[in-house]
Structure 1
Amino acid sequence: MALPPELLLQIFRWATWPPPAVKFIAEYTPFAECNTTIPRDDPSTDLNLKYNLVLLSRQCRSLATEFLYEHIVFTRPREDAFDIVPSAAWLVSTGYGRYASSVHICSYQAPIYSYYDWAPILCACPNIKLAMRPSFGSPRTFRNATPSPNPIPDPTSITRLEWEYSANFNVPLFRTLAARLPHLHWLSLTSLGTGAHALHPTSGVLRLPRLRTLCLRLENAAMYRELARWDLPALTHLIIEEQDVYVGGVHERGVHHLFEKLGRTLETLELGRGKEKHFRQSDVVSLAVTLCPHLRQLSYYPRYAVIPSVARSAIVATGLREVCLHIGSLEELDLELFRMHMLRLIEWLRRLEELDDLALYGDWSTVLEDSELRKALDASSWKIYYRDDTV
């Protein structure tokens, strides 16, 4: 029995849904999954599934082609992988580039001679909103690479960019691309395990006039100094996913300088995605409320952060109206220690004179069985919201 085209279309929409790493959203929500940076996984399995579906019949191909090419993965394929997008020129000749909403520049399996080799794909995909660039290869391979004679075009539709900043060849490439993104609203930067030598050539000021949200996953203290040289006049949301457990003190100084530079416009700060426990090493919350005068929303994991030490008189974030607390994983949770920790935190939160809302994310049911903790919350004047549907 032949299935109606409408049902087939729904089946293919389900089967060809973009992989989980693809996040088009450029608006911030506390602790949302779309806040996290891209993984370094191999997308070939998802691509092979899509490719096989459209080969079932001519009708299947006509129904699913648009879905197949909405997320472009550009790479030099392995011998056992399907070459769904062989080149940017092929996208232009077929017209499939118009379907693309995102492009993922992933690992090359064969060496390339310039880190600009993939740039023409941006011309072939005029409607992309998201560009992702994870780490790949060896920095030595591209240390002497020179720009292509064909410059990167102006992909004006891109609003979200996710970038691995940990290698020499990705640094100048990022600056070349970012300067051509006038509508960039969301930027996720990852910098893991790279020394300061990779950042030396980037002393110039980078201006991103419309960037609203900056998400950082950094294990490189030099990266904080690099960010302090950027000009982000519209930045209102900052997400710091993690910091290196081995250089926590260095990062506290780096965050201090970062807040001094960017804190004047910040309205929202989220801490602790990724390796949440690393925030136990430094009092980032105190830095935020003393250096970010316009902060209105603060979100973090109280289990993995120290109790703020700043006195009421030193708090400049007098407009802080909402604090969002995520309990995180319940594994290995010492209820008694956490209860005492929360009682001390509630006492400190009373120093925030304009605080109106306290939002609790995750499963707090076990913790809130404690009568003393419930009494402390009930005695406050805050509106308390429970958001247990957020992971």
Structure 2
Amino acid sequence: MTTPTPAGPANRLANFFRPRKQAVASENKHRLDATVTKTTEESSQKSQKSIQVLCAENEALKNDNDALKKQCGDLQDRLQRVEQRLGIVGKDGDSDDDEQEVEEVDAQPEDGVDKRCTASKEATQSKSEKESSPFSFHRQAGMSRYDHRLLPPELWLSIIRWATHSQSVFDLPTFEPFHASFERQNKGEAGALAVRHAVVQVCKLWRDFGLSSLYEDVMVRHGAPALAEELGKTYGGEQLGTHVRRLELPYPYTGTATNTSSDLALQILQSCPGLETLVRPFMPGPPDAVRYEFPTRSHPFPNLKRLEWWHYNDAARSGGINSLIDVLCYSPNLQYLVVGGEMWSSAPSTSDALVLPALTTLRVRRINVIFVQEICRWQLPSLVHVVAEFPLEQDGLEDIWRMFGARLCTVEFGRHVGFLLSDQITPFLAGCPQVQKFNYFLNFTYPPPIFNQPCALQSISLHAHPCFMVTDMIPNSQERLERHLAFLSRSSFPALRRIILYGDWGDIIPDPLFTDFTQSMNSRGCLIEYATGDMHSCTPSPSA
């Protein structure tokens, strides 16, 4: 018999909730199963995606590795061809010799260690690693038996010079066409200095070769005491200051607020006996910020070839290294002089005329009439080049042409809009009848009228650097071009044989005006040439 179930209120309530609990449990189970399934699918998709990404990255790395191997192979082929041209490859090509052979060095340095960058004799790299690694510098089949790092010192010097020199041309004591208008505009000086620092830390050989480039160009800044101490140190039996070739010395470091204020600058100069270029730059701040209360000592510059000087009268009163006249008197071999600034009548001047026997190039920035009169008092027997960066006030350039014009060979007008305001070419040609070369910027120079006086011009160099300034006094570029070409083609230049084009002439060459001008000049025996490579290398233009 079945035991009867009590029919009380509790049992009836339990019977009422039992189906609901079962339904809720079933629903939770279904939700859990769905969540697990969804999570599993997402994990599977993520895993597949990760696998695909890894496969793609692996394929990219494999392609990069293949590309690097190919580049290394190309470099090895190029190295072998260079060695063959230099005549240092073995007769048999060394195709079956995989072991590196290094010639013994007879001359050893004092410490008994070879300072040259040779391969280590204790290398234990296996033969298979040498042949398979794309980065291995060990000789493989077909390469030279000599280590390519055993180069003559002159080649190492040339390589390090190219690697550590910025693109800007180092200040030269000789004249270069249009170089004055583009000096010190390169932004790569900091990068070149960083490369020099890295080169001298590679090995002793590279330090010996690269040390001169590290110290050849020095600018005195806030670390002047540390610089003076560093230049006084010795390396390899030589003082580091002997490597300095160019020194930029701002005026704040030669002030004389006390009688010993300039001693640090003099100490730096004394540490640089081989100095060839000295720069006294323009002060961006107010000149009276530097005090000159005591006299300054002079310093000899027997090897100085180039001097860039911005004149300040307060500084000149202290004499010595702050006075242009004193520095010129102690620079007997000066070849290139750049001057700027204003000279007062109270500025000290020598009673006897200053003689600069070796000066060949005078570059004039913005100077006043008194400064021009002082220059005209100098005796410059070797002067042949004059660069005028700015048209001087009160016809100052005409005084220079009148004084030195008979001996000049080259005259150049700078890239300054001041030359667009008035005709500066006609007074120059009238004052320098014997000049042979004339350089000017086509778009920065006022077009002169036709010139029919006797003239010995043989070569005219034109630079096409653009100028976008147009006013009522300045004609537009097309009108300037037309008037300049008329001046060149119709003036009386019987000795003119070359017109050299500098800069970008791509927009001017197709102009019919220039085509007719080229034909006219060619018929007179004058060639139109493009400047290529360096400033002195020229090749005839296709239209010539």
Could you state the TM-score of these two structures normalised by the residue count of structure 2? 0.58
Superposed, which structure 2 residues align to 1:301-312 within 5 Å? 301-309=441-449, 311-312=451-452
Show the counterpart of 2:389.
241
Show the counterpart of 1:356.
497
Residue 97 (structure 2) pairs with residue 97 (structure 1) = no
Rounded to whole Å, the distance in 2 between the matches of 1:139 and 1:54 is 39
Aligned alpha-carbon RMSD (Å): 3.8
Task: Output the amino acid matched with 1:104.
Answer: E
Assess if the C-alpha contact under 8 Å between 2:451 and 2:487 holds in 1.
no
Residue 508 (structure 2) pairs with residue 367 (structure 1) = yes
Show the counterpart of 2:362.
214
Deviations 1:193-217 (A, max 9, x none): x4x4376323643221110011111
Between 1 and 2, higher relative CO (CA 8 Å, sep ≥ 6) is seen in 1
Rounded to whole Å, the distance in 2 between the matches of 1:5 and 1:222 is 60
Distance 1:126 1:306, change over 3 A: same
Rounded to whole Å, the distance in 1 between the matches of 2:374 and 2:404 is 12
Superposed, which structure 2 residues align to 1:162-311 within 5 Å? 162-170=308-316, 172=319, 173-191=323-341, 194=342, 196-197=343-344, 200-202=347-349, 204=351, 205-243=353-391, 250-251=393-394, 253-273=395-415, 276-309=416-449, 311=451
Could you state the TM-score of these two structures normalised by the residue count of structure 1? 0.78
Q: CA deviation at 1:38?
A: 5.8
Rounded to whole Å, the distance in 1 between the matches of 2:251 and 2:192 is 16
Deviations 1:325-369 (A, max 9, x none): 111127679553234223432344x32222222112222232121
Show the counterpart of 2:529.
385
Aligned partner (choices 261, 276, 279) of residue 129 of structure 1: 276
Show the counterpart of 2:479.
337
Assess if the C-alpha contact under 8 Å between 1:241 and 1:272 holds in 2.
yes
- Larger CA deviation: 130-139 vs 97-106: 130-139
Task: Output the amino acid matched with 2:460.
Answer: V
Task: Output the amino acid matched with 1:156.
Answer: P
Residue 224 (structure 2) pairs with residue 72 (structure 1) = no
Q: CA deviation at 1:290?
A: 1.0
Assess if the C-alpha contact under 8 Å between 1:51 and 1:68 holds in 2.
yes
Show the counterpart of 1:325.
462
Task: Output the amino acid matched with 2:456.
Answer: G
Structure (1 or 2) with the larger CA radius of gyration = 2
Residue 174 (structure 2) pairs with residue 27 (structure 1) = yes
Rounded to whole Å, the distance in 1 between the matches of 2:407 and 2:357 is 13
Assess if the C-alpha contact under 8 Å between 2:266 and 2:299 holds in 1.
yes
Rounded to whole Å, the distance in 1 between the matches of 2:496 and 2:233 is 56
Distance 1:174 1:332, change over 3 A: closer
Task: Output the amino acid matched with 1:218.
Answer: R
**SS at 2:509 equivalent:** helix
Assess if the C-alpha contact under 8 Å between 1:327 and 1:363 holds in 2.
yes
Rounded to whole Å, the distance in 2 between the matches of 1:83 and 1:48 is 19
- Segments of 5+ residues of structure 1 without an aligned counterpart are none
Rounded to whole Å, the distance in 2 between the matches of 1:60 and 1:120 is 29
Structure number with higher helix proportion: 2
Assess if the C-alpha contact under 8 Å between 2:458 and 2:498 holds in 1.
yes
Q: CA deviation at 1:236?
A: 0.4
Rounded to whole Å, the distance in 1 between the matches of 2:279 and 2:150 is 33
Aligned partner (choices 266, 289, 314) of residue 119 of structure 1: 266
Task: Output the amino acid matched with 1:374.
Answer: T
